[in-house]
Amino acid sequence: MNKIIIAIVAVVVVGALAYFGFQRTNQSPTSGEPIKIGVVVYPSGGIFYVAQEKGLFAKYGVNAQPIEVSPDAAIQLLASNQIQMLFLTSDFLPIVADAGVEAKQIFSPSISYGADGMVVTKNVQSFSDLKGKKIYLGFGFPSDFLFHYVAEKNGLASSDFDIVNLGPEDVGASFVSGKIDAGMTWEPWLSKTIERKDGKVLFTSKDYPGVITDIVMARTDLIQNRRTDVENVMRAFFEASDWWTKNTTAGNAIAAKAFSLTPEDFAPMRDTVKFNDLQANLEKFDKSKPLNVYDIVEQASAVYRQEGVIKANVSGDSMTDSSLLNDIR
């Protein structure tokens, strides 16, 4: 279980790779060659394996191959064309852009629904009680973006806190051991809060659904050269997602096997995300809707630039292609 939990948000650690200037190729795979989809170990990433297991890629006439990728290699693999599509989070796209990778977010598999949150001591009754306090969080992680989103909703800014950069795993362990009193972390550390007598969870992504939005991005040359194949990958994905929703136990078993987990270990993890169907995707890619993927990119860009994670602001338009969703609707 720990393996899948750690990977839930850990994909963002590859942001550090943004500064190493990867060699990229503009040579996309030709028609008939497999489109390799990088999948980090994450509950909704299992949908790609369901699509493969149920023969849905073949049904739609596309040669697609999901490949498990380690978080720290994901951007390099996409930049070097060893994978052509990648599963991550929308708030991470400013870091991808800062790395110089030419790619677009094209659809959203799911949203975080309780996997990320804030741990505090029990004397903290509300978010406003944290003003002036030391807050530990990992710069560039989705939980970093979530914290700033919640702060803004409460009329507070970064300058109202003493923010310390510390990775989510370290935040969780440090909080449970009593070394720190407030920070942003993820499961299983949220559940482990009960191990500290004066600890509690103040809020999770379930309280702010849609802030942490999972997305799939594709290299721009792949979209240009094999647009129909990319759309068919999406069609297969949505059918697989629908099948899994209707066949929960069987879908869990397929995903668990793909991630080398038992179905019993995987099942609780499935509850930390909500799948996005095609209609939910059309809303996520609609600029008039709240928490759309364009706004998330730009809001995250502002946070990460202020923290020094990226060098320049990134626009949502520059990292998004909604036309494929509109074609398959």
Taking 80 as the threshold, does the pLDDT of residue 32 lie above it? no
- What is the pLDDT, as a whole number, of residue 31? 65
Measured CA to CA, the distance from residue 145 to residue 162 in angstroms comes to 16
Q: What is the mean pLDDT of residues 160-176?
A: 95
Q: What is the mean pLDDT of residues 89-106?
A: 94
Question: Lowest-confidence range among 35-39, 57-61, 174-178, 184-188?
Answer: 184-188
Residue 111 has φ and ψ, to the nearest 5°, of -130, 150
Taking 80 as the threshold, does the pLDDT of residue 11 lie above it? no
Report the percentage of the chain scoring pLDDT > 90: 81
Relative to beta strand 134-137, strand 103-112 is unpaired
Question: Lowest-confidence range among 21-30, 156-165, 280-289, 319-328?
Answer: 21-30
- The mean pLDDT value of the chain amounts to 90
pLDDT digits over 232-263, tens only?
999 999 999 999 999 999 999 999 999 999 99
Domains of the chain, earliest start first:
2-112+211-328 (3.40.190.10), 116-204 (3.40.190.10)
pLDDT digits over 34-43, tens only?
999 999 888 8
Q: What is the mean pLDDT of residues 102-114?
A: 96
List C-alpha distances in Å: 238 to 39, 71, 165, 223, 323.
Answer: 16, 24, 37, 18, 16
pTM: 0.86
Q: How big is the chain, counted in residues?
A: 329
Instruction: Give the chain's end-to-end CA distance (angstroms, integer).
Output: 35
